[in-house]
Amino acid sequence: MVTAVMVALASAAFFAVGSSLQHRSAGSASASSKRRMVRTLVRSPGWLVGAALCATAFGLHATALSFGDLSVVQPILLSGIVFTVCARSVIDWRLPSRGEIGWAAVTWVGLVVFIGALRPSAPHPLDEGRALVAVTVGVAAAALLALSARRGGRRLLLRGVLLAAASGILFGLVAGLLKVGTIQARQGVTHVLTDWSVWILLGVGAGAVLLNQRAYQATRLSVSTPVLNICQLVVSLTFGLLVFRERLFASPHVVIVEISALAVMVLGVTRLASRAEGRPGAAPESPTTGDADAGSPNEDIEAGSP
């Protein structure tokens, strides 16, 4: 568990720095067309370094899941926005505000209490049948939310919430499938490449990223981030409970402590995301209604799993 916690913290830190570098580069790139923006970004050293750090974070995420349960790793990754606040302050050559420091401390307190209350169970064998059912139900739910968002028309707040929820569900499934992949990897690379989970992971991951960007274009970061992270955390914990039979609560008393700690973490993440919109150089608060492929600077990174 200690190894899983340390590696998950490293993953959150790498992802925070990498996404901050990418966001800064994207904000200064030409938004006149998708192709021009992409050409600008792939020639930007900051964006390329950020991409490499995010790739490293993804590898560390997989490593953390190979050592620990989803119930241990995913809440830690939720706190990644704290690292993002620190990274953006360093990149922008400014000190974090007292509000940012305060809410970062609140997030960390919630995380420490949650981790301290956890009593991980012994590992259980992978139930592939349950995994397939969980993925099917999750993808269907995300598709239904995305379709509802499309029918939402000009009600941008509702559309953003629905898209963020759909993206969060898919990101939760990504974490679960990544855990499945780490288990299959123990049987060799050939087995991994021929296993269903890897190919579904690629498709679900692509869908999660796409819906996430659509959510950012539809509504404010302070709205989409909490919805996305709550859904992602609930789905990933449920996946661990059903597929790996992870024990989330050791006793009724611990239930209250862990739920309260998670609520404190979500509150801290929500307030930090809200403050991120008001800092100098942040994305505009009004949602974009123009070209969806224009590379809006509103594409900040979520605090969930890389």
* Lowest mean pLDDT segment, chosen from 68-72, 100-104, 278-282: 278-282
The closest alpha carbon to 77, from 86, 66, 89, 65, belongs to 65
Q: Are 303 and 225 in contact (CB under 8 A)?
A: yes
**Amino acid letter at 252?**
P
Mutual orientation of helices 156-184 and 128-150 as an angle, nearest 10°? 160
Mean pLDDT taken over the chain: 78
pLDDT at res. 137: 96
**Is the per-residue pLDDT at 292 higher than 80?**
no
Confidence grade of residue 145 (pLDDT, cut at 50, 70, 90): very high
pTM for the model: 0.75
Residue 148 has pLDDT above 50, yes or no: yes
Residue type, 303: A
C-alpha 25/C-alpha 19 separation (Å) is 10
Asked if residues 71 and 120 have their Cβ atoms less than 8 Å apart, the reply is: yes
pLDDT at 204: 94
Which of helix, strand or coil describes residue 306?
A: coil
Q: Which range among 28-32, 68-72, 122-126 shows the weakest confidence by mean pLDDT?
A: 28-32
Give percent above pLDDT 70 in the chain: 78
Q: Give pLDDT, residue 290.
A: 40
Q: Are 214 and 291 in contact (CB under 8 A)?
A: no
Are 47 and 41 contacting, i.e. CB atoms less than 8 angstroms apart? yes
DSSP letter for 107, please: H
Residue 299's pLDDT is what? 41
Could you tell me the CA-to-CA distances from 38 to 21, 29, 32, 196, 291 in Å, in that order? 15, 9, 11, 31, 15
Find the DSSP H helices in 118-220: 128-150, 156-184, 189-193, 196-218
> What is the per-residue pLDDT for 305?
44
Give tens-digit pLDDT for 241-286: 889 888 766 677 788 888 888 889 888 888 887 776 555 444 444 4
